[in-house]
Structure 1
């Protein structure tokens, strides 16, 4: 996680994205959008790197499942 106080209690990523057939290009586009939003709101570099690491760690559970 990100170290924040909230705990995610929804479906696991594989179950949540099953059947969506998300491509790597689509996943990378979403990552770009997320990083753009973080930049827009002045989020620090350390936090952005943490978010990026989380997004990369989830990639295999989201793409083409």
Structure 2
């Protein structure tokens, strides 16, 4: 895996005023893509854990 060298999530999303509904819509899209590509339950669980750990740095910052 490559090391992420971009901006942190809070800085990257600052001023975008992303709502909870918009965030959930993106998470749903990601889940759909994972299902379409037959990712296993453990992998989906890991991705969801990462997404929800970042939630506070993305919504309304």
Please classify the TM superposition score into its range, dividing by the shorter chain length. over 0.9
TM-score by length of 1: 0.92
2:27 aligned with 1:37: no
CA RMSD of aligned residues (A): 0.4
Deviation beyond 4 Å, 4+ runs, structure 1: none
Task: Establish whether residue 25 from structure 1 lines up as the match of residue 21 from structure 2.
Answer: yes
In the alignment, structure 2 segments of 5+ residues that lack a partner are: none
| Structure 2 Cα separation of the partners of residues 7 and 52 of structure 1 | 19
Q: TM-score, normalised by structure 2?
A: 0.98
